[in-house]
């Protein structure tokens, strides 16, 4: 396997990991920021107030986007599995 092919494979996998993290963590960060602004404006310092909405949003995001993310993951591994014969012959 040439370095170019290895870098391409790692790049595709890294892109998928970054996409998965952004989709799952992004909404949680936005909700956390919104709750933090609300807490700063009202001077409420309750730790569970910031934790519970982020947990709910993260779980809802996984429920809604989970099938699509799983399909992307499966597509990547199917593509890798189909490329194995080509990668072996390219030595």
Q: What sign does the dihedral 44-49-51-57 (CA atoms) show?
A: negative
pLDDT, tens digit (0-9, with 9 covering 90-100), for 6-48: 888 899 999 999 999 999 999 999 999 999 899 889 888 887 7
**Which candidate, 20, 22, 30, places its Cα nearest to that of 68?**
20
d(CA 56, CA 83): 39
**Which two structure tokens, joined as six digits, stand for 52?**
């519970």
Residues in the chain: 91
Q: Is the pLDDT of residue 89 over 80?
A: no
Please provide residue 90's backbone torsions phi and psi, each rounded to the nearest 5 degrees: -85, -10
d(CA 45, CA 41): 11
pLDDT digits (tens, 9 = 90+) for 55-78: 999 999 999 999 999 999 999 999
């Amino acid at each position: 396997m040439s370095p170019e092919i290895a870098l391409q494979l790692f790049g595709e996998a890294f892109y998928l990991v970054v996409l998965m993290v952004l989709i799952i963590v992004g909404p949680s960060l936005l909700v956390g920021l919104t709750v933090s602004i609300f807490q700063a404006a009202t001077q409420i310092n309750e730790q569970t107030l910031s934790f519970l909405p982020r947990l709910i949003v993260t779980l809802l995001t996984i429920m809604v986007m989970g099938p699509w993310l799983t399909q992307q993951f499966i597509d990547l591994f199917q593509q890798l599995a189909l490329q194995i014969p080509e990668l072996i012959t390219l030595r």
